[in-house]
Chains A and B, each alone.
Chain A
Amino acid sequence: MATIIDIKEEIALQVKDFEYTYAGADAPSVKKLNMPIAKNSITALIGPSGCGKTTLLRSFNRMHDLYPGNKYAGEILFKNRNILDKNEDLIHLRTQIGMIFQKPTAFPMSIFDNVAYGLRLQGIKNKTELQDRVEKSLQNAAIWKEVKDRLKHDANGLSGGQQQRLCIARAIAVEPEVLLFDEPTSALDPISTAGIEELVVELKEKVSIIIVTHNMQQAARVSDYTGFMYLGELIELGVTENMFVTPTEKLTEEYITGKFG
């Protein structure tokens, strides 16, 4: 049995007996997983490659549904509903639960249009409203000063770190309640990484954050809670400060002291 501490905050997402099987696979990649995600906090998911942490992350916004043949079981409760339900409106879900990827994914359009993209999808056409919300998002993503004079420029002209912040601005523009970060700094240099980490910590005032990372120091620096996964199971979920000092589970201790992974 996994060790799961009690969450003192409100719960944003509750994972219940969750299982996930890839198309054509015999065994599930994530097994019987139970896990609460705290509201307005940062929960880091760590574990060796193939432990299922990214698979779990991509279930929260049903990204897996883009590829046929995958199977979910169990429940993920969000705002009093099971988002794994067949009838879940995925378009709506994805505006409530946003995602940032391993690599910056600026669309082939201008900086402004990138951030306005999600808003336009929701039917916002009013120019002033678009401008206001784009500016606010860029400010919240701490990139406004760098791009305000070249909003009409192609977004692919920005540096990697800037692009990643642009993607964050794009994701928060639609005001999601949860943000999923899938190793957001794995393609960035140390200085850009520090900038993104700082930004992630600031963002938790407005959204609940789940971040998958390979980098244990990163998890220690930014997160409030840390979940350690191994072979598709959650081994331990704890308060980050305690987890890295006095883990309860032996496996967790071995992983964070570098005995494997």
Chain B
Amino acid sequence: MARAIMSDIKRDHIHKLLSKGKRVDGRTWDEFRQVSIERRFVESAEGSARVMLGDTDVLVGVKIETGTPFSDTPDRGVLSTNAELIPLASPNFESGPPDEDSIELARVVDRGIRESEMIDLTALCIAPGEEVWLCFVDMYVLDYDGNLFDAAFLGAVAALKSAMVPAAMNGKGEDFPLPIRNTPISCTAVQIENSILFDPTLDEEKVAAARLTVTTDENGDIRAMQKGLEGSLTLEQAKRIIETSQRLGRDLRKLIG
């Protein structure tokens, strides 16, 4: 996210607390904020979920249509992921074509879903080389208080798991649930003066030096990662974030069911 202005007094406050091992909202370093997931929030979507992660609010919808496959994958359905940082959600978001932040967000979520093989794309083939199901995942940030990666990822996974393929409407037999094979979970942490904090709030993101998002599958294996921001991580820090993501991922996966 564009480096928004941060008052010195807030910055100092975060640093001072961190030196005592504390966070502004009283959480421990590896504690996520309260998560709530409302499935099927939008009826016009084939699947949808609204996720609140603390005060971060993300709405994700899945639309499924028929279309032509890519020529290099003629027997597989198509997954397309898009994120919109709409100006309703933050004074620092602007309308217009997707900027680098929303593209990074969409691509990190896309990678987690794709690389974990969450969706069985081969089951979304109607006629090889001619017709397949196209699956559009659209993510909208409604209220922004940090850690969009994990809120959007939870939303995307919950929306996909609630999605029905509209076969009847398209004359392709009966509707069926989107074929799901796996429930990947992403966990994001930031490094601030060598402290590691999971699920950063907006204020914590603003003072963070580095960020790491780790997407794990049901076996705890790593399926995707993304390091962000200008600062660095030590190997020890990276390992600690990965291990913790595997542990936290198990708990978050239970929420999605």
A, B bound: no
Listed in ascending order, the chain A residues whose CB lies under 8 Å from chain B are none
